[in-house]
Structure 1
Amino acid sequence: MAQGHSPTGTGGARRFDGDGPRPTSRDVARVAGVSQATVSLVLGDKWRGRVSEKTARTVRVAAREIGYRPNLAARSLRLGRTRTALLVVPALTNEFFAHVYTGAASVAADHGFGVVVYPSPDVAAPAKDPFASASAALDGIIASSMATRSLSRLRGAALPLVMIDSDPADRGAAAYVNLDIADGMRQIADHLLRLGHRRFLHVASAVESWTFDVRARSLGGALDAVPGTTLRTVRSLLDVHSAREAALAALAGPGPAPTAIVCDGDALAAGACKAVRRLGLRVPEHVSVTGFDDLALASALEPELTTVNLPAERVGERAMSALLAVLDGRAPATDDLPVRLVARSSTAPPHRS
């Protein structure tokens, strides 16, 4: 079989299951039609510049077909690695970070790594080292900007750190994986301005984080560029009840009522919708409401929520790939991941009364 020929559909590949012999790298090489050295390069993630992308893909397909699993214990001893990454997030009850984990774990599994999740809901307190020694148990850390202050003890382990949704100007990490949050908020503002809205209420997160600072700056900048717009900001904890109370106080307050409510997250938007209904008004007939994240909640609301879709799983994939690149001495990708507006029925032209 020629090198690079795909084993799929050859009929020669058989899966090693049950009580049969454990497949070896020699078996992978035979099915893929390559040398054992090539298999070692690909499955050891050292193939770039030595093996073509097509051949690397063929080897990985062959390994999956026959059920090959590398001896991670032997490899770890040989490489001096534990092949384990730590993912530090505020809480796995947050759907966004659950998807981040899914993406990171998928890439990790393709490279013989595991991912340990460390939820740190108390973002203001230092996270305790979850191991006797993080440096002995881990190869690196992936962390959200919302858990930045909880990393002080773990950073003492001098492990490579990849930050998610964080300020690259901090330069405290080996790599940064960011979404184009500013563009997402600009898309929201442009959408509402085109509908004719000029009076805005921003239900902003009360949690101090770079990502929420970016949202506020981007929204303010987009609205400042259009004459005749007004913007009022209220802050809320990241839950439905707090957002309802914050929006209710703002809507019932003195002065002209906003025609559009821009929220830093979908849960905040759900609270804003409840506040509108509490006042006997309707979304979007009287007030348009937007969210940010595009969680399952966005399409469960009635009316369905206009929001910004954040590719959370892709964030996890990029973060794990960045950590692997740092460990291998390669430069990780630095471009921001794009986001997109999802216009649904919670937004409409402003009510004329």
Structure 2
Amino acid sequence: MSNAIPPRPTSRDVAQHAGVSQATVSLVLGDRWRGRVSPARAEAVRAAARELGYRPNLAARTLRLGRSRTALVVVPALTNEFFARVHAGAARVAAEDDVGVVLYPSPQGVGPARDPFASASATLDGVLASSMAAEALAALSGGGLPLVMLDSEPHGGAAATVNPDIAAGMRLVTAHLLGLGHRRFAHLAADVDSWTFRVRARVLAEELATVPGAEIVRTERAPISVAGGLGAAGRLLADAGPHRPTALVCDDDMLAVGACKAARRRGLRVPEDLSVTGFDDLTVATAVEPELTTVSLPGEELGAAGMRALLAVLAGHARGTTVLPVALSRRGSSAPPPAAP
């Protein structure tokens, strides 16, 4: 039996397998095929490359382009399911373009992180970052790297911005609860000073101000966790007295799950006595009973669209702000308010 290592597939092998020229293989795998190669032929080339296990010689390509073909993805922490989805989407698109991804999570979830690079600008081509991890960029700010921000203030100094439509999401929640008849609201706000949560608070207040009799009776801030939601909602419900809210709007599904636990511990039924809504549509939203009414954010597509924007910027194409649609998932945690005694 021979122990010889089989030869590594070449671009010529891919071209022969797909029935195209080597120039076509170069165009397709270099993502320069649009307008020059048909979509069907491009897919045939990609399929041949996958079947043969072909990978371009990235070291040689780096020497030709003068770039490392490596992007930094900055998120608060992958222990958060939403940011795990963001990373998955970004990594998938990067892999399609043979770009490496370096993950840069903040150790505390949100806040500054130690710079792992002696010289980031010499190691990386660009940065894709969430606004919740913006402080972690401080160590890299002097490198002059192209930056694409996710879920961030548009035109905030980044080369491009990709956002889920957070304002639309909060409008959907508010309209849903108002339509059910709720007028006394409480807001369980994430204890994070970032653009996305400021938008949620602003839009909630603006929407309720347009409806006579509707009000936010109390806002309670909490760390984004089930325990944070449990503690904050417990304080809110304990101190509410006769003006207890009938609807509790939570900035995150983890907060909403904690709020549901707090309500039950005080003898309140969800949704008969208190409607609770979340944000993000994480797996936990359908793992609890009743299932959460929540805003579905396209986490994986957010990461994918952000990486596409970064690759476009690196290729010299201008990108502004991309806004991704969101949807409201109506489930069992929201219902009409209890009748007045």
TM-score normalized by the length of structure 2: 0.94
Residue 76 of structure 1 aligns to a residue whose secondary structure is helix
Relative to structure 1, is the Cα distance of residues 333 and 22 closer, same or farther in structure 2, using a 3 angstrom cutoff? Answer: farther
1:188 to 173, 179, 185: 173
Query: Structure 1 stretch 266-275 or stretch 252-261: which is displaced more?
Result: 252-261
Which residue does 1:217 correspond to in 2? Answer: 202
Residue 125 of structure 1, CA deviation: 5.0
Return the structure number with greater relative CO, CA threshold 8 A, min gap 6.
Answer: 2
Residue 146 of structure 1, CA deviation: 0.7
Q: Distance in 2 between matches of 1:241 and 1:23?
A: 53
Q: Distance in 2 between matches of 1:343 and 1:230?
A: 22
Which residue does 1:47 correspond to in 2? Answer: 33
Q: Distance in 2 between matches of 1:81 and 1:50?
A: 25
1:274 to 261, 273, 297: 261
Residue 127 of structure 1, CA deviation: 3.0
Letter in 2 for 1:331: A
Letter in 2 for 1:48: R
Residue 159 of structure 1 aligns to a residue whose secondary structure is coil
1:162 to 120, 140, 148: 148
Q: Distance in 2 between matches of 1:62 and 1:332?
A: 32
* Deviation per residue, 1:298-322 (Å, 9 max, x gap): 1111111111111111111111111
Match status 1:62 vs 2:56: no
Residue 19 of structure 1, CA deviation: 3.8
Q: Which runs of 5+ in 2 are unaligned?
A: none
Q: Distance in 2 between matches of 1:177 and 1:41?
A: 27
Residue 36 of structure 2 aligns to a residue whose secondary structure is coil
The answer to whether the Cα contact below 8 Å between 1:107 and 1:317 also exists between their aligned partners in 2 is yes
CA RMSD of aligned residues (A): 1.6
Which residue does 2:304 correspond to in 1? Answer: 317
Residue 167 of structure 1 aligns to a residue whose secondary structure is coil
Which residue does 2:76 correspond to in 1? Answer: 90
Q: Distance in 2 between matches of 1:22 and 1:333?
A: 41
The answer to whether the Cα contact below 8 Å between 1:266 and 1:291 also exists between their aligned partners in 2 is yes
Which residue does 1:12 correspond to in 2? Answer: none
Q: Distance in 1 between matches of 2:234 and 2:113?
A: 35
Q: Distance in 1 between matches of 2:110 and 2:221?
A: 18
Relative to structure 1, is the Cα distance of residues 298 and 123 closer, same or farther in structure 2, using a 3 angstrom cutoff? Answer: closer
Match status 1:260 vs 2:278: no
The answer to whether the Cα contact below 8 Å between 2:8 and 2:54 also exists between their aligned partners in 1 is yes
Query: Structure 1 stretch 201-210 or stretch 61-70: which is displaced more?
Result: 61-70
TM-score normalized by the length of structure 1: 0.91
Q: Distance in 2 between matches of 1:328 and 1:124?
A: 31
The answer to whether the Cα contact below 8 Å between 1:243 and 1:269 also exists between their aligned partners in 2 is yes
1:114 to 91, 100, 105: 100
The answer to whether the Cα contact below 8 Å between 1:285 and 1:348 also exists between their aligned partners in 2 is yes
Match status 1:346 vs 2:333: yes
Which residue does 1:29 correspond to in 2? Answer: 15
Relative to structure 1, is the Cα distance of residues 258 and 332 closer, same or farther in structure 2, using a 3 angstrom cutoff? Answer: same
Q: Which runs of 5+ in 1 are unaligned?
A: 1-17
Residue 169 of structure 1, CA deviation: 3.4
Letter in 1 for 2:329: V
The answer to whether the Cα contact below 8 Å between 1:309 and 1:342 also exists between their aligned partners in 2 is yes
